[in-house]
A = this chain, B = another copy of it.
Amino acid sequence: MADKLIVPRIPRGFKDSFVEEVIARKQMIDTICEVYHLFGFEPLETPAVEYVETLGKFLPESTTPEGGIFSFRDSDQQWTALRYDLTAPLSRVFAQYQESLPLPYRRYQYGPVFRNEKTDVGRFRQFYQCDFDTVGTSSMAADAEVCLVLLAAFQQLGLPKNVISLKVNHRKVLDGVLERAGVFAISGSETSEDIEKRRLTVLRAMDKFDRLGLDGVAALLGEGRVDISGDPTQGAGLSDAQARIVLDFLSIPTTTHSETIEAMTQAVGSSAVGIEGIADLKQIARLLEEAKVGPEVTFDPSVIRGLAYYTGPVFEAVLTFQVPDEEVGSKAFGSVAGGGRYDDLVMRFTGKRVPATGASIGVDRLLAALKHYGTSAANSYQGPVVVTVFDNKLLGFYQGVVTDLRNAGIPAELYLGTETLGKQFKYAEQRRSPLALIAGPDEIGRNEISVKNLSLGKELGKSEAFKEDREKWIRERPGQMTVARTDLIKTVQSYLRPPQ
């Protein structure tokens, strides 16, 4: 070879997915989308490539688009980029097709999104999202429904209610508390930008309640803090009295819906925006009660959902079962989905507010949770039945066997390599085949074929009923048996289907 060899590799932060992961992910996504469909959402697909300005990340002062997105000029010399979420494309679609879309427009979308960011363990630059949204209604019934959809999806995936915690908060309630704490009060020569900056600093501090606790948040609301690595974070500069109001709000216990909302009502005081938020939360609580939702939903003052575009109720879904953790031994699995109401996102295109609400399931996080919890399809995957090749002259017989199996709906393949029978069994095991079939000239002369059980033992004892029949099952299905060619399909099916 005169040419230099190319190193086979992919860019940092991207990954290949093989059989079990692809199958587990597809089954999970299909289940989620069936739930979205059951709730009356219809699918939408948008391209991976959008104009940069559509995504809303173009900085007017720079000549190239900002980092964080993969952007490039297309052959028309326009700046385009890979989408970084599915919400920006939805707002573009709604603005573009609003004349012909049903109103409200209820859509779900599943697909890869791309972020040109730093990578980390489990943090990729291409990953899947699975969103559902209702655009064009300000009814709190749509927000209550976001909770119902998420709960139904998790349950359909085999997660019991007692490991699901869906937390609800409201941006207007948060602003109400901040207003009561005087965060928005203008002092001296402060501009409205200064106020907004202080608001974001306070929200960012509250967002760290989970990680830093009350004391850590208190420091960030006041003078700031220095973290363990020595990095200083500037505080919001609130007085102790101001900070106390925010900290009291964060300390509201998440007990019954009515108790929590009552405490939140006290916390917003006479703030008009806060009172609006409380009214919304009360409506959501009533609708959830009518839908007989239990304690898996709580109203939680510490849910902020970052600094995103939310303008109303916000949601965060957390799985509470314990997983091993290097630092503390074990911890709750954590967040797998989130969402909220965003009434301003279509305005960039139309100049008009369009109310919208929805949520996004983090596909990779949830898949990891299902694997951990044991309800993922990844572990139950079976490969095809492999028809081994004893002698290439007998290919016609083998091909006939493979065809019969496929006609009976049994995934099957003829071994297409050139290795010995022993290595063919290894290949079959590598493919996770449940069975290998073997026939030499003697068997074929007697019109027989041998069935070798590759998954016996692995597949045993998966269900209670099966355990009882275990010995009988094994006795009837030895590790290898020879059957008449005419009985083959029946025999293979009996191996593939354990008693229910």
A residues in contact (CB < 8 Å) with B: 1, 3, 5-12, 14-19, 21-23, 26, 37-40, 42-51, 53-54, 67, 70-72, 74-76, 78, 80, 82, 92-93, 95-97, 102-104, 106, 112, 114, 116-117, 125-126, 134, 136-137, 139, 141-142, 145, 152, 287, 290-292, 347-351, 383-384, 386, 395-396, 399-400, 403, 406, 409-414, 416-418, 427, 430-431
A106:B413 contact, CB within 8 angstroms: yes
A40:B413 contact, CB within 8 angstroms: yes
Assembled-state Cα–Cα distance A16/B103 (Å): 18
Closest B residue to A346 by CB, please name it.
Answer: B8
A71:B72 contact, CB within 8 angstroms: yes
B406:A38 contact, CB within 8 angstroms: yes
B350:A5 contact, CB within 8 angstroms: yes
Residues of B within 8 A of A349 (CB): 5-8
Q: Within the complex, which residue of B6, B9, B102 is in contact with A431, where a contact is CB–CB below 8 Å?
A: B102
Q: Within the complex, which residue of B54, B80, B126, B137 is in contact with A416, where a contact is CB–CB below 8 Å?
A: B137
How many Å from the CB of A131 to the closest CB on chain B? Answer: 14
A427:B103 contact, CB within 8 angstroms: yes
Q: Within the complex, which residue of B5, B8, B76, B351 is in contact with A54, where a contact is CB–CB below 8 Å?
A: B8
A14:B412 contact, CB within 8 angstroms: no
Residues of B within 8 A of A16 (CB): 44-47, 93, 96-97
B395:A141 contact, CB within 8 angstroms: yes
Closest B residue to A352 by CB, please name it.
Answer: B1
Closest B residue to A22 by CB, please name it.
Answer: B43
Residues of B within 8 A of A291 (CB): 399, 403
A114:B49 contact, CB within 8 angstroms: yes
Could you list some 9 contacts between A and B, CB below 8 A? A10-B50, A11-B49, A14-B47, A16-B45, A70-B72, A104-B416, A137-B418, A139-B416, A145-B414
